[in-house]
Chains A and B, each alone.
Chain A
Amino acid sequence: NAGVMQNPRHLVRRRGQEARLRCSPMKGHSHVYWYRQLPEEGLKFMVYLQKENIIDESGMPKERFSAEFPKEGPSILRIQQVVRGDSAAYFCASSPPENPYEQYFGPGTRLTVT
């Protein structure tokens, strides 16, 4: 059973460009979470999704950030008009429906905004 997959692993964007981060959950997992890790800090929750539904987006910045988890395909975290402060590691986690407290993390996407 493959783990949570994220791509790209590293992404460089200039200020003002768009960043798209992808996450494929583990097989059988229907819950997806996105977290952001700023340098030398812990992870901060951003958004929790189930297939075609956003369940909790209380950690998402109000502007420029959006997330989706379509019926088919990976979950996408989209950042429009990136700024230097968006530089961070973005981690995706997934959990099975029968045990949503047990989250398995992907390797992360390290976004650098130049």
Chain B
Amino acid sequence: GNSVTQMEGPVTLSEEAFLTINCTYTATGYPSLFWYVQYPGEGLQLLLKATKADDKGSNKGFEATYRKETTSFHLEKGSVQVSDSAVYFCALSEGSSYKLIFGSGTRLLVRP
């Protein structure tokens, strides 16, 4: 079945460092891909999305490119801030029911 694999955390960075969180997927067909962010005690917020190969999603300095040849959707940010500390989830949508399949999440901790 379809699945999403994320790099394990936690990822600890200093402020202004470069961030990469790896995400790869397994899917039949052509899913849409998403990154969600979860701040402590809150629900998930949609961070960015891409609906077809080579699309680049971007938001708040984060970006990710849908790479069909490597089945990847890695999240990047050029300069992280303390306020970016959260758990990041990669997800794909599946089939006609539109349900999301999530990776296990990667916790990011940014130190001042």
Contact = CB atoms under 8 A, between A and B. Distances in A.
Interface stretch (A41-49, A67-75, A76-84): A41-49
Interface in B1-58: 32, 36, 42-46, 49, 51
Contacts, number: 59
B110 interface: no
Contacts of A52: none
A12 interface: no
B98 to A, nearest CB: 4
Interface string B81-110: 000000001000100011111111100000
Contacts of B51: 101
A31 B98 contact: yes
Contact of A105 (B44, B98, B101, B103): B44
Interface of B: 32, 36, 42-46, 49, 51, 89, 93, 97-105
22 contacts: A6-B43, A33-B98, A35-B102, A42-B89, A42-B102, A42-B103, A42-B105, A43-B100, A44-B102, A45-B99, A45-B100, A45-B101, A48-B99, A56-B97, A58-B99, A59-B99, A91-B44, A93-B44, A95-B98, A101-B51, A105-B46, A108-B43
